Structure 1
Amino acid sequence: MSVIADRLVHAGDASHKLSGAGVSIARLETRFLSGAEWDAAIADFDEVCQEQLHVFAATRWPSVQKEPMLFSLDGEVVGGALIMVQPLPLRVGHLAVAKWAPMLKDASRADAEAIRAGMIEAMIAEYADKRGQMLSVLPRASMDTHNRDYEHLEARGFKRGSELGFPNRYMVNLRLTDENQRKSLAQKWRYHLNKSEKAGLSFEHADPKSFPDFERLYEAMTDRKQFTDHSAYDTVSELVAIGVPELRPELFFVRHEGELVAGALIFKAGERAVYLYGATNDKALPLRAGYFLHWNVIRWLRDNTRANWYDLGGTDGFQGLHQFKKGMVGDAGVIRPVPPVANYASRPIAYLLGTAAFAARDALYQVRRVVDGLRNPKTRSTQTREDAE
């Protein structure tokens, strides 16, 4: 089914902050795809990410309706957004949620800002205006000091919503020579890397068939640390088996005297590679295997992908992990926050119900975090440092 977005986006219109966008009008055609069609269609997007994959969302949120929207301009695919439509308690309404979306296929286009604004308009028209739902959009962290995507949403009438407790994301610049990358590293990080390179470690890019080895390492690590895993790790087996090779995470191992001591899964599609999961055994820390692993992952991503940045994720408030990632980001990388959720509703009741649902969810997450801390205070204080190093 195809529909033409009713809204026209005019470059230079102050309400959309499109000055310099390079186009006068962006008229977008919207198509809803099946899950398999969607994952294949976005494989070569500059801004593709694992949270926007249907195979990820179907496993992570099985009870939520997934609606992939693909946008075209003059017959050419230019972007898309996977919208998750979630029923509110007692079925009093629905939320439409877009995380790390909408995505651009070509972020370097002169009219990229106008296209992104046009996609937002189409989402508003479908979910807020037509269906009467609250639309919640969470843009990615920006490489710039200002998040223009979030600023546009605010200018368009979106309201500030939930915020991550620790929003910073740590981005390594992948487009450096080995020499310049080493110079960029913090002095202490470089010291530990030098030590690791003398410890007899070996690095390998593993075949997906070796994923069971990573699973055993990860499960042994979680058993050893005895912490409750609230992550999306249950999606990994589906991601590794995805039928679109470009979207399949890459698997890396570090061995010492033939023994597997560390591993990592990396999402490598698009302009921003992402560290998904790591696992270590109890020998990894004294061997400094994490330094050796990440250094070689950085070099592999530079030489084998088109990614410009390596997103190390956040820290969940752990100071040791902050120091580790900050040292790896070094002088050439950046640390940028994920912005708050931006909420929009055409009808007041939809906004009230939606914000109440988010408030309840945030309260539940806070309680869960406190309970986890009380259950395993010692374990939680050390777990992320071990994962990193």
Structure 2
Amino acid sequence: MISIKEISDKTFWHDSLREFEDANIYQTWNFASLAQNEKIVKHLAIYANQDLISLAQVRIRAVPILNRGIAYIFNGPLWQKKNRENNFEILSDIFNALRQKFVVNQKLLLRIKPYIFSDKIENIDFIKNIDFKRIAKVRQYKTLVLYLDKDLDEIRKSFDQKWRNGLNQSEKKGLEIIEGNDSELYKDFLLVYSQMIERKKFKEYVNPNRIGKMNEELNTENKLKIFIAYKDKLPIASIVGSAIGNTGIYLLGASNEIGMKNKGSYLLQWEMIKWLKQKGCQRYDLGGINLDDNPGVYHFKSGITDKEVVDMGTFESYNNKLSKRIVNFGEFFRR
């Protein structure tokens, strides 16, 4: 029997994250509310009899009085338990339970973007049998993945020769690297980030100040890892990552003009890889790629690994046409 319990205990939530290989920063307690300013967030634990099989952080956006709108799960639900064979029957049961709660009982549109990638699971045909459809207009997340199952010498040798040359040069620049997870170090990241934005003048898709606020609320075990490169005591390059579950994630990075001249980003990526290896991560997600929109970043990251993967997409289910119209209307005006 599948049951869903709403969780109000933050400690229970973070303790339970340890049970899942696919645990990630996006499913930590305050990510949706602090990092992305969501107003209504539910934390759900899903059980098969008394066995915890899933965690899901659900964002709710509904029109008052009508109580129609969307329930959205981003990079979840978590379902890949450690030391257990995971199969699509379990995931199918989880999807069906969530559909029953939000689509059937609450008349909402349910949208799910699972944290599942093509290098792990190739066949997702099960989705066709549980009243969910892929949203074709939502671009799939594409990224580069570095596997961390080899020793560090072998990983370094696997880098593209030009990338290794950049790393070798950065190691001779006399840069000081400081790592940590506190708010003071994050301020140095924000300083370099602001200098980068001023130089590049590109559109921001994340709010680094909100990410910093979220990090302050995280428990010590799940806090972000911050690496800063200093030249003559001044911050010149920075990188922020996360290691929860079996995949490390590159979240944010920045470099000013001095950092670029000293190839600080090469050395910081190497420090991040060493830390993830020490943490026991099996994979390193380099934070997304888009060759058309950002070719420079693509070529930098592809020097670390050429293994491209995509997520399985975004899926939705609904019975209530009003909820669907409300969601479509809201998305139209956010374009």
Could you say whether these structures have the same fold, taking a TM-score greater than 0.5 normalized by the shorter chain as the test?
yes
For residues 49-103 of structure 1, what are the alpha-carbon distances to aligned partners after superposition, in whole Å with 9 as ceiling and x for unaligned?
A: 2222231111244453211111233433232111111125995721111111110
Partner of residue 84 from structure 1, selected from 56, 59, 67 = 59
The alpha carbon displacement at 1:279 in A equals 2.0
Partner of residue 76 from structure 2, selected from 101, 104, 108 = 101
Secondary structure (helix, strand or coil) at the match of 1:82 reads strand
Q: Which has the higher contact order (CA 8 A, sep 6+)?
A: 2
For structure 2, the residue ranges without an aligned partner over 5 or more in a row are none
TM-score normalized with structure 1 length: 0.77
Contact 1:88 1:95 in 2 (8 A): no
Contact 1:239 1:248 in 2 (8 A): no
Contact 2:96 2:130 in 1 (8 A): no
Contact 1:87 1:95 in 2 (8 A): yes
Equivalent in the alignment of 1:329: 305
Equivalent in the alignment of 2:125: 151
Equivalent in the alignment of 1:32: 6
Equivalent in the alignment of 1:202: 176
Q: Give the Cα separation in 2 of the matches to 1:88 and 1:357.
A: 12
Change (3 A) 1:274 1:107: same
The alpha carbon displacement at 1:354 in A equals 5.8
TM-score normalized with structure 2 length: 0.88
Change (3 A) 1:145 1:40: closer
Question: How many pairs does the alignment contain?
Answer: 331
Matches for 1:47-196 after TM superposition, within 5 Å: 47-87=22-62, 91=66, 93-104=68-79, 106-144=81-119, 146-148=121-123, 150-161=124-135, 163-165=137-139, 167-196=141-170
Partner of residue 240 from structure 1, selected from 185, 201, 215 = 215
Matches for 1:322-361 after TM superposition, within 5 Å: 322-330=298-306, 334-347=307-320, 349-350=321-322, 352-353=324-325, 356-357=328-329, 360=332
Matches for 1:378-389 after TM superposition, within 5 Å: none
Q: Give the Cα separation in 1 of the matches to 2:37 and 2:275.
A: 34
Partner of residue 273 from structure 1, selected from 248, 268, 289 = 248
Equivalent in the alignment of 1:301: 276
The alpha carbon displacement at 1:144 in A equals 2.2
Secondary structure (helix, strand or coil) at the match of 2:22 reads coil
The alpha carbon displacement at 1:107 in A equals 5.0
For residues 143-199 of structure 1, what are the alpha-carbon distances to aligned partners after superposition, in whole Å with 9 as ceiling and x for unaligned?
A: 527544x53323322112154547311111122212211222122212222222222
Which amino acid counterpart does residue 336 of structure 1 have in structure 2?
V
Secondary structure (helix, strand or coil) at the match of 1:328 reads coil
Q: Give the Cα separation in 2 of the matches to 1:76 and 1:207.
A: 34
The alpha carbon displacement at 1:133 in A equals 1.4
- Give the alignment's Cα RMSD to 1 decimal: 2.6
Change (3 A) 1:99 1:260: same
Which amino acid counterpart does residue 193 of structure 1 have in structure 2?
L
Q: Give the Cα separation in 2 of the matches to 1:225 and 1:279.
A: 11
Which amino acid counterpart does residue 328 of structure 2 have in structure 1?
A
Q: Give the Cα separation in 1 of the matches to 2:57 and 2:26.
A: 9
Q: Give the Cα separation in 1 of the matches to 2:93 and 2:82.
A: 14
In terms of mean alpha carbon deviation, does 311-320 or 223-232 score higher?
A: 223-232
The alpha carbon displacement at 1:122 in A equals 0.9
For residues 110-154 of structure 1, what are the alpha-carbon distances to aligned partners after superposition, in whole Å with 9 as ceiling and x for unaligned?
A: 244332222111101101111111111112241527544x53323
Q: Give the Cα separation in 2 of the matches to 1:88 and 1:337.
A: 33
For residues 15-63 of structure 1, what are the alpha-carbon distances to aligned partners after superposition, in whole Å with 9 as ceiling and x for unaligned?
A: xxxxxxxxxxxx3332101273564244313212222223111124445
For residues 244-279 of structure 1, what are the alpha-carbon distances to aligned partners after superposition, in whole Å with 9 as ceiling and x for unaligned?
A: 222210111222343321111111111111111112
The alpha carbon displacement at 1:302 in A equals 0.1
Secondary structure (helix, strand or coil) at the match of 1:241 reads helix
* Larger fraction in helix: 1
The alpha carbon displacement at 1:350 in A equals 4.8
For residues 275-329 of structure 1, what are the alpha-carbon distances to aligned partners after superposition, in whole Å with 9 as ceiling and x for unaligned?
A: 11112221111211111110121011101x1211111112342111111112212
Which amino acid counterpart does residue 200 of structure 2 have in structure 1?
K
Secondary structure (helix, strand or coil) at the match of 1:180 reads helix
Q: Give the Cα separation in 2 of the matches to 1:230 and 1:314.
A: 12
For structure 1, the residue ranges without an aligned partner over 5 or more in a row are 1-26, 366-389
1:320 matched to 2:320? The reply is no
Which amino acid counterpart does residue 314 of structure 1 have in structure 2?
G
